[in-house]
Structure formats: C-alpha cells, structure tokens
Structure 1
Amino acid sequence: MPTLDARLEAVLDLIRTDVHADIGSDHARLPVRIIWGSRASRCIAVELNPGPLEQARRSVARSRLQDQIEVREGDGFGPILPGEVGSASLCGMGAHTIRGILERAGGRLPPALILQPNDSALLLRLWAREAGYHVRAERLIAGYWPYPVLRLEEVSGPDPAYEGVPLDAALKYGPLLLRAGGEVIRSQIEADVLRLSKVAAPGRESWDELETAKTALAVLDNRVK
C-alpha cells in the first residue's frame, strides 16, 4: 500500500463517497489509498502529463485495482461526465491553478470538493462563496510551509462557517481554523505579523495584510481567554 505524506493523509481523511475523482493525480497514490481504505467504491484518476499518466497506470496495475480505479488522460474535469462523481480532490497545485480548473469545470463539478493548495487558500474560499460552496472542514498541516486542506460542499444560502468571525481574517486564514486554534495556525499568523510589520506602511497592500493578520491573532487570543 503506498504511503502518503501528512498533507495527503489529511485529504484522505476528508473523503467519503461512492465515486471520487482525483484531478492531477500524479502517481495515483491517493486513489489507491482511497480504495484500500474503503473511502469510495470507485475512483477516477485524471492526469494530463504523459510521465505521471503512465506512472499512475502502473501504480494502479501493481495494486491490482484496475476494476475500481480508472486512469483517464485529460485536463482538469474535462474527462469527467456531469454527475459522474460525488466528490473530487485537487492537491499539490497553486491556488490560482486550482481555481482556474474549478472555473473551467462548469457542470462537471461534483457536490463536494477536497482542495489542498500549496499556498494561501484565500482565492479558493473567495471562489467557494461565489460558487455556492460552503466550508465544511479545514485542516492546516505543518510541512515545508503550512498546507491548508479544505472540504467544500455545494449548499445554498450563506455559509455558517463565517458567522461571528471577522470576514477578512476568515477568508485569509480559514473560518474553521480560526475557531479551532492550535499551534500551526498561530505560528503562521505570528510569522505573518512579524514579516509584515517590517514592510507595512499606510496606503500599501501590506498594511491591510498586517491588519488582517492582527485581527486573526486577536481571534485566537480571545478564543483561549
């Protein structure tokens, strides 16, 4: 059984469906673990690049899971039919790249998404609010830098995750992460405050970023009182 690093273990933990698609699957380690862990009955691994595509096919063959994991060549959700999957994961890419894939997906988007950007999830939270997806779970995994992991679900109406949390801070750092607290999120915010304090000046974008970080830190401080 393939091993996963901590960020992909967090992604795996947020998947539970009948049919799941892993977009940009690379070597298909995540789909193999999804099937082995009975977190889906079937997976579709989508990969565009020829090298990883062939690696994914070999990985599935070695695991003898060809009946449950289908490897498809294509870009984003292009190889997925509307309504074909209950959830999809996009991991290990920049937030700009993930958002672009989501915006191009149209009616192929499933009702649940598990996203792991390699940078700030701000763009993805903004997209979710515009597209009618609610934040249902968030993780922040320590690594080379902090890796956010989000589970989004398509639901109508305002997202209750943002109730009672300053919006700018929640969009930047995560409404559920701020509610939960912990050393990883605190370390990230404190590092931002320290970094931005050296360069911020009124009228600059860095000033607004500093104020957002200070607000987020205050949320954590009030939480532990």
Structure 2
Amino acid sequence: MLDARLETVLSLIRAPLHADIGSDHAGLPLELVRRGHIERGVIVELNPGPLENARQAVARAGLGGRLDVRSGDGLDPLAPGEVPSVSMTGMGALTMRGILERGAARQVRPDTLVVQPNDNPAPLREWALGAGYHLRAERLASGYWTYPVLRFERADGPDRAYEGLPPDAARRYGPLLLREGSALLRRQVWADVTRLTPLAAPGRPAALELATAHAALAWLDGQSSLDNDSEG
C-alpha cells in the first residue's frame, strides 16, 4: 500500500525502464511493476540499511528478475543513456538538484524526471529551466504537509508553462498549479502568508517569501474573478 504522496508520484510514471533513487523499502518501484506502469526497474540506495530493505522487499515479492537493486550515490550507478525515466522522492529540493547536476556532469540525463521534494520546489524548477527540461505535469498531495510532485521532460526551447505568470510565484507554487487554482493550493498559499507575516521584517528572507505568497494569492484571486465574469 502506498500513501497519497507516493500514489501521486506513481500516477505520473510510465516507462519501459525506470529508476527510483533513494527507494528505501522499494514500495514505489514494486507497485510500478505490479500495476504495469513499468516493465523493469532499477532501485538505487546509498545507505546499507535501506539498501538491504530494498533487496529483501524485492526478493519477497519474487521480482528480482525485473527490479535491479544497486548500491550507490544518486545517479552514479546509472550509465549514460541507460535509463530513460527517473524518480526521486522524500528529499530536499537542493539535495535533488545536486544529484541531477552531478548526473548531468556524467552525461546521465534521463528523458523524464518525476520528483517529490519535501520543501520549496523552486530550486528544481529553476534547475529545469536552465537544463533543458520542461514542466509537463504537477500535482499536490496531502499528508503530513502538502507535497508537490513534478514531472519534467527533456525538450528544446523555452518552457511556455511559465508565460504570463508572476515569475517568483510560478517557481515557488508551480505554473500549472496556479492555473488550476485548486482549493489545496489556496490553503497552502494562505498557510504561508500566515506563517511568514510575523517573520517578515524588512530585509529578511521571510519578507521576500511573503511577497511571493502575496503575488500568488493575487494571481489566484484575479483568475477567480475572471472565471466568475465569464460564467456571468
């Protein structure tokens, strides 16, 4: 059984061969195989405990012929061009960005990336804008907090998903999510406004974060007004 966070990640993955980085008990890749989202998978773990957990879970499931468990750091166990699709979940955005940058330096650049950071996803969106990846889908999943799940695909030219949106708000909250304007996103933005307001003294980082949250809220309110006008 996967929680809502990993179910959301799973929904954005379909590939003949897929690698999950930092898989722990291998729950996600096991379900990807069982549900037919992937044909074969690679599981990468750095630490001995999670590595052994993954090996045992794959063995118990009888899927050793379809899931290859490898020891290593980030994308290091993958050869250039070997795996077209990669996922990373449950890490900080800066940690994920570092893994992707080190992989790119070795020419490991998957066609598709599905990432679920545990914090502000802006560093990943910024990386993608400069690394030749376009944002193709993004979701929010409820849990201990609100989790963003992003799907990037390699593509040429500028990513038009960001056109017409306040840049900082789009990087922080997501261009596709802002256009969707879900109740869950609105709650997230309001929670940030409430949290940041008492911290936002002039010159502090919280002041910039608060301005970004207000910009997102203003855009959402503007879109809501347009929708109401069109319905009228």
* TM-score, with length taken from structure 1: 0.96
Equivalent residue, structure 2, for 1:150: 150
* CA–CA distance in structure 2, aligned partners of residues 95 and 148 of structure 1: 11
| Alpha-carbon displacement from aligned partner over 1:49-74 (angstroms, at most 9, x marks no partner) | 11111111111111111111110111
Aligned residues: CA RMSD: 1.0
Letter in 2 for 1:185: L
Equivalent residue, structure 1, for 2:48: 50
Letter in 2 for 1:97: T
The aligned runs of 1:105-184 (5 Å cut-off) are: 105-106=103-104, 107-184=107-184
Instruction: State the 1:160 CA deviation.
Output: 1.1
Q: Give the secondary structure class of the aligned counterpart of 1:134.
A: strand
Q: Give the secondary structure class of the aligned counterpart of 1:41.
A: strand
Contact kept in structure 2, 1:82 and 1:108, CA below 8 Å:
yes
Q: Which stretches of structure 1, 4 residues or more, deviate above 4 A after TM superposition?
A: none
Letter in 2 for 1:63: A
Equivalent residue, structure 1, for 2:216: 216
Contact kept in structure 2, 1:77 and 1:109, CA below 8 Å:
no
Contact kept in structure 2, 1:193 and 1:210, CA below 8 Å:
yes
Equivalent residue, structure 2, for 1:14: 12
Q: Give the secondary structure class of the aligned counterpart of 2:15.
A: coil
* CA–CA distance in structure 1, aligned partners of residues 207 and 46 of structure 2: 40
* CA–CA distance in structure 1, aligned partners of residues 199 and 67 of structure 2: 49
Instruction: State the 1:208 CA deviation.
Output: 2.0
Letter in 1 for 2:35: G
| Alpha-carbon displacement from aligned partner over 1:16-53 (angstroms, at most 9, x marks no partner) | 11100001111111111010111111100011111111
* TM-score, with length taken from structure 2: 0.93
| Alpha-carbon displacement from aligned partner over 1:99-140 (angstroms, at most 9, x marks no partner) | 111111021120100000111101111111111111111111
Asked whether 1:204 is paired with 2:210, we answer no
Identity of aligned residues (%): 58
Asked whether 1:26 is paired with 2:34, we answer no
* CA–CA distance in structure 2, aligned partners of residues 138 and 199 of structure 1: 29
Instruction: State the 1:203 CA deviation.
Output: 3.2
* CA–CA distance in structure 2, aligned partners of residues 187 and 167 of structure 1: 20
